[in-house]
């Protein structure tokens, strides 16, 4: 039997240590040579924040990268021990973040990309019953055209208001936007700015539902 010198980190309550493994002087003997190599050994985790409830628990993502540093696959996602909110904790949802990108196949046990993730832009033409894969450029062009068409056809530039004066109101009520509470602040900001510049007034997010 292989006897290796190992280190043990004693984790007590709130003082959960972070990415480095701290040697507290225990020697553990690996009982069986069959104990798998720690797959996150020497992997630097990347901190993120849980995308579910708004508690703001930190999570860390361990991933495998090749020699050039190119991403290969996820290894594990778990609670960020440094984050003072959760101190390494994660509920079932937070702990399941790995599945957002990758899953283990039920039949083979193999690690695969979550088959439900959409990997290409899709277009559904009016009245048809299927999605068609399109490239990004085509999609964004088409969307921009629809936006322009609808906006230009419905745009209210000036209006006579209650006091009888005519003012610029710059709005369209034919385009609406919903959502955004799952986005980052910077994304929300671009969204709010773009939509309002287009004249949207039907602008809502999940805060209202």
Partner 1 sequence: MTNHIVDLKNTDCALIMGSNAAENHPISMKWLLRAREQRNAKIIHVDPRYTRTSTKADIYAPLRSGTDIAFLGGMIKYIIDNERYHKEYVLAYTNASFLVKEEFGFEDGLFSGYDADNRKYDVSSWDYQYDESGLPMKDPTLQNPRCVFQLMKKHYERYDIDTVCQITGTPKKKYLEVLEAYSATGAPDKTGTIMYAMGITQHTVGSQNVRSFAMVQLLLGNMGRPGGGVNALRGENNVQGATDMALLFHIIPGYIDSPTNGPDNKDLLAYIRKATPGAGKLQFDTLEEFRELVKAGFPNSGFKINTSKWMISLLKAWWGDAAIAENDYAYHYMPKRDANKNYSHIAMFEAMHKGEIDGLFVNGTNPVVGGPNANKEQEALSKLKWMVSIDLWLNETADFWTYPAWERPVENENVPKLSAADIQTEVFFLPAAAVFEKEGTAAQTGRWVQYRWQAADPVGESKADLWIYNELGKKIKSLYASSSKPEDEAITKLAWNYDDEHGHDDILKVAAELCGVNVSDGLPVEGFANLKDDGSTACGCWVYCGAMTYKDGEVIYKTKLRDNKDNSKEGLGLFSNWAWAWPVNRRIVYNRCSISPDGVTPWPGDEKRVLIHWDAAAGSWVGDDVCDTGKTSPPEKALPFIMRPEGMGCFFAAKSSMKDGPFPEHYEPWESPTANAMNKQNLNPATKVWEPDKQGTPDKYPIIATTYRVVEHWQTGALTRNLPWLAELMPDMMIEMSEQLAREKGIKNGRKVIVSTTRGDIEAVACVTKRFKPFNIHGQEVHEIGLLWHYGFKGFATGDPANRLTPHIGCANTMIPEYKAFLCDVRRA
Partner 2 sequence: MANLTNLYDVSKCTACRGCMVACKDWNQLPAVIEPFKGNYDTHGGDTNGDTYTVVRFIEGEDPVDGVYWKFLKYQCMHCLEPACMKVCPQGAYSKTSWGATFHDPEKCIGCQYCTYACPFMIPKYRKREDKISKCTLCVDRVEEGLTPACARTCPTAALKFGDRDELLAEAEERAKFLRANGFPRATIYGRVELGGLNKLYVLTDSPDKFGLPVDPKVPGQISFWQNWIQPYFGWLIPIALGGSAISFVTTRILANKNGDHTEGGHE
- Tell me the site size for partner 1, rule CB under 8 A: 120
72 sits near partner 2 (criterion: CB under 8 A)? no
By CB under 8 A, what part of segment 2-41 binds partner 1?
none
> If phi over 0 gives left and psi between -120 and 50 gives alpha, with beta otherwise, what is residue 199?
left
CA dist 60 → 18, 70, 77, 111, 193 (Å): 10, 18, 6, 19, 31
- Could you give the CA distance from residue 119 to residue 131 in angstroms, rounded to a whole number? 13
28 sits near partner 2 (criterion: CB under 8 A)? yes
Choose which of 74, 76, 78, 110 interacts with partner 1 (CB under 8 A): 74
Q: Which stretch binds partner 2 (CB under 8 A): 23-31, 117-125, 170-178, 198-206?
A: 23-31
76 sits near partner 2 (criterion: CB under 8 A)? yes
Choose which of 45, 58, 79, 180 interacts with partner 2 (CB under 8 A): 79
- Nearest residue (CB) to partner 1, 26 versus 141: 141
CA dist 143 → 34, 113, 123, 173, 193 (Å): 56, 28, 11, 17, 17
Tokens 């493994």 correspond to what residue? 21
171 sits near partner 1 (criterion: CB under 8 A)? yes
- Could you give the CA distance from residue 176 to residue 198 in angstroms, rounded to a whole number? 11
Choose which of 11, 17, 40, 188 interacts with partner 1 (CB under 8 A): 188
- Nearest residue (CB) to partner 2, 6 versus 134: 6
By CB under 8 A, what part of segment 156-195 binds partner 2?
none
**Residue-by-residue DSSP string for 54-111:** TT--EEEEEEEE-TT--EEEEEEEEE-TT-TTTTT---HHHHTTHHHHEEE-TTT--E
The one of partner 2, partner 1, none whose footprint includes residue 143, by CB under 5 to 8 A per kind, is: partner 1
* Binding region for partner 2 (CB under 8 A): 4, 6-13, 16, 21-24, 26-32, 34-39, 41, 57, 76-79, 81, 86, 88-96, 98, 103-109, 111
């Amino acid at each position: 039997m292989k006897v290796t010198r190992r280190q043990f980190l004693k984790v007590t309550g709130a003082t959960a240590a972070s990415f480095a493994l701290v040697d507290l002087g225990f020697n553990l003997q690996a009982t069986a040579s069959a104990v798998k190599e720690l797959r996150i050994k020497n992997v630097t985790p990347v901190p993120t924040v849980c995308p579910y409830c708004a508690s703001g628990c930190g999570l860390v993502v361990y991933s495998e990268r090749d020699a050039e540093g190119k991403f290969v696959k996820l290894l594990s996602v778990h609670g960020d021990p440094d984050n003072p909110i959760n101190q390494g904790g994660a509920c079932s949802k937070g702990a399941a973040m790995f599945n957002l990108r990758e899953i283990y196949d039920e039949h083979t046990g193999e690690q695969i990309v979550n088959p439900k993730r959409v990997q290409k832009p899709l277009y559904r033409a009016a009245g048809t019953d299927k999605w068609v894969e399109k490239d990004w450029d085509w999609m964004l062009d088409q969307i921009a055209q629809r936006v322009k068409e609808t906006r230009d056809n419905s745009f209210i530039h000036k209006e006579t208001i209650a006091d009888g004066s005519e003012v610029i109101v710059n709005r369209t009520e034919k385009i609406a936007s919903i959502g955004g509470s799952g986005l980052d602040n910077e994304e929300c900001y671009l969204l709010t700015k773009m939509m309002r510049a287009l004249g949207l007034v039907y602008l809502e997010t999940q805060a209202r539902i």
